[in-house]
Structure 1
């Protein structure tokens, strides 16, 4: 990241802008920095002015306590202002939930696209989310960052043996370093259910995308998002999973943002 902007509460945000054209801001998900969406930015920058940033508490960006989802919405407002006062937004996973909240908050968002925002569209989802929230808060309060990361990986469905391997890998230290931001993404997700009433207030086009090779509940969630937003569109990318290939997603986003 080679640029910096100051959010409303004084938090410095690191970002990079590439390409020319209408502005698009890319929002990463949990346990990640702006680097995770940089490959997608490369595929979009021939048509758009693409902003990639490190969300607060990660990478080269700062952080300010206490955390609130509204502060992350203000972060996006600052980036949109830097982009010229209006932008389209794209978010992946829990970053998608943040994008939807930003669009519902009345920011100058032209269009909003999300990939597999992990809302549950079934009754047990809220209970599972509540248990995770409680256990995560306890682990972070006690300084058990590794346990917090493991809780998150379990929530994503990663097998125990894969989690054990991850703990022994060189990347584990970096995951522990941003573990406190897991609580931020958890807050963004709310009770874990599709926020239908909130989505109904979004006044701009919304594209909800899911992978055909992902778990079926993620497709149900994307479909529910599209159905709840007044101008919602639902798309499935065949053979894609939660780690969507940027060269497959980029043409879909280009068509949507360029409309």
Structure 2
């Protein structure tokens, strides 16, 4: 494990493996660096790969109050530690964080956005999303962490029984407060979690949007719209795959893109 200090002094923990051009993997909601480690293992055959704990997770520290800009600075500190440039992969809500970072001008060479969960633009969908998010944040405010995780997973489309089982797993209660951070990232990119077309227009790096054909329809729609909105964007749809893709399936897609 390595550590780097972000601009506000927060310590960010990361693992580094492989050699070659730098690639940073950014995990989504409820994920720490262990979540991206299997993908890192696959990619490290070709690249120098970093998996890290976003602030408030795992071995990384945290500093109040939370700010999306501080998370962008965390990513910037990692890029500096890797020599000054890196390609960046973001999964789910972390894809929205990568959009923020790339649009802010961080020295990112290539961008991969894996199913950013931007919501539909209609008012009914926005109200439903806002209400669900408010319920999760309310549960967190009451320190009802397991219930907050279960509510979030159900909101994301997981069957209630499976959501309850996963929410009760070790470590979930500890990382639950960072759900509020992911909601902040999504709302920062576009009010109500809408697709931030203006922000995407500022992402001028070569960019790849990825989705699975078996994922929730709104995530597929989001990936398609994002690919069209990115100035240098293209889309890869993985046939029969869900929101979480086995690393041995995903790694060749990313390798091809990063090496092109």
Question: Do they fold alike, i.e. is TM over 0.5?
Answer: yes
May I ask how many residue pairs the two structures share in their alignment? 255
- Tell me the equivalent position of 1:39: 38
CA contact (8 A) 1:80 1:87 kept: yes
The gaps in structure 2 that reach 5 residues or longer are none
Question: Are 1:225 and 2:226 matched, yes or no?
Answer: yes
* Cα distance between partner residues in 2 of 1:61 and 1:224: 33
Deviation string 1:188-223 (CA, Å, 9 cap, x unpaired) is 111211111110111111100000111222111001
State the secondary structure of the residue aligned to 2:171.
helix
Distance 1:162 1:83, change over 3 A: same
Q: CA deviation at 1:14?
A: 0.5
* Cα distance between partner residues in 1 of 2:166 and 2:109: 39
Q: CA deviation at 1:120?
A: 1.6
State the secondary structure of the residue aligned to 2:210.
strand
Distance 1:45 1:166, change over 3 A: closer
Q: CA deviation at 1:96?
A: 1.0
- Tell me the equivalent position of 2:182: 185
CA contact (8 A) 2:157 2:216 kept: no
Aligned-residue CA RMSD in angstroms?
1.3
- Tell me the equivalent position of 1:105: 104
Q: CA deviation at 1:24?
A: 0.4
State the secondary structure of the residue aligned to 1:194.
coil
Higher deviation after alignment, 71-80 or 141-150: 141-150
Q: Scaled by the length of structure 1, what TM-score is found?
A: 0.95
- Tell me the equivalent position of 1:158: 158
* Cα distance between partner residues in 2 of 1:70 and 1:129: 23
Deviation string 1:17-61 (CA, Å, 9 cap, x unpaired) is 111111000000101101111111111111111011011001111
Q: CA deviation at 1:147?
A: 2.1
State the secondary structure of the residue aligned to 1:90.
strand
- Tell me the equivalent position of 2:149: 149
Higher deviation after alignment, 14-23 or 118-127: 118-127
Question: Are 1:246 and 2:247 matched, yes or no?
Answer: yes
* Cα distance between partner residues in 2 of 1:108 and 1:248: 28
Q: CA deviation at 1:82?
A: 0.3
Q: Scaled by the length of structure 2, what TM-score is found?
A: 0.94
